[in-house]
Amino acid sequence: MWKSVREQRQLWFRRLDRAFWVIWVALPVVLWLAYYRTTTAPVTIAESLSGEQAKCASIVANPLTMSTLGQLLFWSLFALGVSFYAVLIGMLHRMVNRFANGRIFVSETLQGVWWMGIFLVVWPFVDTITTNAVIYVLYRIGDIKFLLLNYNLDVGTIAGGVFLMALKFVLEHAILLQSENDLTI
């Protein structure tokens, strides 16, 4: 039996909605892998180097050997970084769920696009500031040996956020034109 384009799209969004649930179920495994890689990085780097070079691996910060304050700061920064992805995935999942239920051009979708854009514009600044603050404090308390501040600002993420904010206005205008068109028929 042949399905309409609308039914096919909604079926696709339902599948995508299920895929987001798989992502949520896999999140604890991904977090554990990130924790494991973070805590074993110095040893892994030392094993990949030879002789005198292996001593250089000791400059890589190991959060397990930091002071209590250092561990608190490090893991707070780690949680902040993970929360960015969790919030972004949550926003996208919510939007896909709306689409799967047939609510595409509604005010909640437009607001979701707007807030996702703001989130993407603001996040790189928050990330850079908090990362540099934690690095500075870790250096001052002696948990890391070198003060190497992060001066990278993720311009691509900011541009994506600005694009989504502009897209909100384009979609809003398209909805207005569609409603005017419906009234004239």
Query: How confident is the prediction for the chain on average, in pLDDT?
Result: 88
% helix, strand, coil for the chain, step of 5: 85, 0, 15
Higher pLDDT, 9 or 166: 166
Judge whether 124 and 37 are in contact, CB under 8 Å: no
How far is residue 59's CA from residue 87's CA, in Å, rounded to a whole number?
33
Please indicate, yes or no, whether the overall pTM of this predicted structure exceeds 0.85.
Answer: no
- Is the Cα torsion angle 119, 124, 129, 133 positive or negative in sign? positive
pLDDT digits (tens, 9 = 90+) for 22-76: 999 999 999 999 999 888 887 888 788 887 777 777 777 888 889 999 999 999 9
Per-residue pLDDT at 106 exceeds 90 = no
How large a percentage of the chain has pLDDT more than 90? 52
